[in-house]
Amino acid sequence: MSSLAKIMGSSIDNHPRRTLFMKWQCQIRQMSIRQMEGKPDSAIMPSLILSESKENLGKIITLINKSTDYDVTPEMKHMAKKTNDSSQVRQDALKFFAEAYYQKPATFSDILTATFLPNSYGAAKIYGEKSCILQFEAYSQSFELKCKVWRLSKHHQLYQATWWHNKLFNPSLHPDTEVLGFEADWESSTANPDIPRGYS
């Protein structure tokens, strides 16, 4: 991950395919929250294929997180800690994410994240190859993202955002959960339908 990406919590690539993907993700994630109470579907669960071996490891649940300037981790942390009633925490989280959270795609990092159990063999295998392909397909849209893979340390903003987001929906989330980051190469990635003419 470039030093600037580490600081900003996002790449600096303004490729129109990036814009297309982020707008799509925000739209379908808001719909998921409002209509399915956040239940993951194929739009946020891509197939993961290792770049070198071409092994398909199945589907993973991905998150998109706010970039550093728009980070809401303190708010998520507050929601998770203010009551021991996990059902109330979940309802508060659904309300928070259903309102304005996904309405501005430009406020999100394009580095996707995913959680794995501590000492996960799968996470080690993915990180060991350093790159992978994420295949998304849902709602008449597909993306094939060629990604670098990063293991995020606990102090990284995207680790914290991912962990506290998941804590809202999983009160038993392990404190040593592993988080991997997936940084797409937007020029070599593909979309179908692809970028409309004049799209920016």
Delimit the domains of the chain by residue range. 3-192
**Residue 174: partners with Cβ closer than 8 Å, 6 or more residues away:** 117, 118
Q: Which of 131, 163, 158, 7 is nearest to 71 (CA)?
A: 158
Q: For 10-37, what is the mean pLDDT?
A: 89
Helix residue spans in 82-200 (DSSP H): 86-96, 121-129, 157-169
Instruction: Please report how many Cα atoms fall inside a 13 Å half-sphere around the Cα of residue 136, on the Cβ side.
Output: 29
Per residue in 121-136, pLDDT tens?
A: 999 999 999 999 999 9
Instruction: Evaluate if residue 4 carries a pLDDT over 50.
Output: no
CATH of 3-192, one of 2.30.110.10, 2.10.50.10, 3.50.50.60, 3.40.50.300: 2.30.110.10
Instruction: Evaluate if residue 35 carries a pLDDT over 60.
Output: yes
For the record, the structure tokens of 105 come out as 């795609």
Q: Which of 105, 82, 80 is nearest to 93 (CA)?
A: 80
DSSP letter for 108, please.
B
What pLDDT shows up at residue 44?
A: 95
Name the phi and psi angles at 82, rounded to 5: -75, -15
What pLDDT shows up at residue 39?
A: 84
Give the global pTM: 0.91
Sign of torsion, CA 14 22 135 169?
A: positive
**C-alpha dihedral over 159, 2, 100, 79, to 10 degrees?**
20
